[in-house]
Amino acid sequence: MSTAVRMGPWSWAAVGLATAVGLLAFGWPFLAEAGSAAVAHASDAPWVFAAVIPLVLLVVLAQIAEGGMDAKSIAILGVLAAVVTALRPLGAGTAGLEPIWFVIILGGRALGPGFGFALGSLSLASSALITGGVGPWLPFQMIAAAWVGLGAGLLPPLRGRPEVATLAAYGMVASIAYGLVMNLWFWPFLSGMESASYAEGILFDPGAPISDNRARWLAFSLVTSLGWDIPRGVLTAVVILLVGRPVLTALRRTARRANFAPSVEFIAPPLAESRR
C-alpha cells in the first residue's frame, strides 16, 4: 500500500501554476527581444519573479485543503526541512559539495511528488534564513529545488536495489541540472565582461535566436560552474547509494504509522435491509 502524501486536482493545479511561473522566470532570456522591458530593467527582474514564493506556499495549502496533508505529514515535512537546514552550512562554498540533495530526493521519493515539491522549496527557504542566504536568487533556488523533489516522486515505481540505483542516477543528473538552471537567474545580467577574451560567445545576447543564446548559456555553464556541479552530483549519488535504502525504509515506516490515508468508516446498513 502506498504511503505517499496524496495529491488532488487542486494540488496538481498549484504545482502546475508554480512550475509555469518558474519556467517563465528562468526561461525569459531565450524569449526577450533586444528592446524589451525585461532587458532594460535587468537589475530589477529577479525581484519581479519573487512571486514564486507565495505560489510554492499555495502548493502546501492546496494539499492541506484537499486532505492530502495533515498535522502528521506537516510535522514530517518540518523535520526533514530542519535536517536540510542543518546540513546546508556543511557544504557552503566547498567545490559545490552540498549534502542536502539526498534528503530532498529521498523525501520526495518516499512521500510523493507533492511532498517533495514542498520539501525542496521550504527547506531552501528555511536554510537561507538561517545561513543569511536571502537574496534575489532565493525564489529561483526554491523553485529549482522543488522540481528536484517533485521529479524524485514521479520516478517509476521500483523497490530494492533497482530503486536505489535509479535514485542515485537521478540524484547525479538532478544535482547537475540544478546548477545549470540556477545560472539563468544571473547570467543575463552580467556586465563588464565584454572586453575579456574568454567572455566571447558565453554572455547573454538580447534578441539573439534561442539556439544562439542556449549555446551561450551552456558554454557559460561549462566554463564557470560545471566544476561545482559535477562534485555536487557525485556526492549526491554516492550518499544515496550508501544510505538510500535504510532512509527510504525509515521514511516509509514513519508514513505508515502516521497513516496519511483517509480514515475508513464502517456504517451499519439500515434495519430494513439487514433483515432481508
User: Could you read off the pLDDT of 159-211 as tens digits, one per residue?
Assistant: 889 999 999 999 999 999 999 999 988 888 775 555 555 566 788 777 778 88
> Do 193 and 62 contact (CB within 8 A), yes or no?
no
Task: Output the pLDDT for position 1.
Answer: 42
Residue ranges of E strands in 49-118:
none
d(CA 60, CA 10): 11
CA nearest neighbour of 83 among 65, 48, 114, 107: 107
Residue 254 has a pLDDT of: 84
pLDDT at 104: 95
Exposed e or buried b for every residue in 216-240, given b needs 16+ CB within 10 A?
A: bbeebbeebbbebbbbbbbbbbebb
User: For the chain, what is the radius of gyration of the CA atoms?
Assistant: 21
134-171 b/e (C-beta count within 10 Å ≥ 16 → b): eebebbbbbbbbbbbbbbbbebeeeeeeebbebbbebb
- In CATH terms, the fold of domain 9-260 is Arp2/3 complex 21 kDa subunit ARPC3 (1.10.1760)
The pLDDT of residue 122: 87
Quote the cell numbers at residue 35: 528592446
Does residue 218 contact residue 226 with C-beta atoms inside 8 Å?
Answer: no
Angle between helices 226-258 and 161-182 (to 10 degrees): 130
pTM for the full predicted model? 0.83
Ranges of the chain with pLDDT below 50: 1, 41, 263-264
Q: What is the pLDDT of residue 205?
A: 76
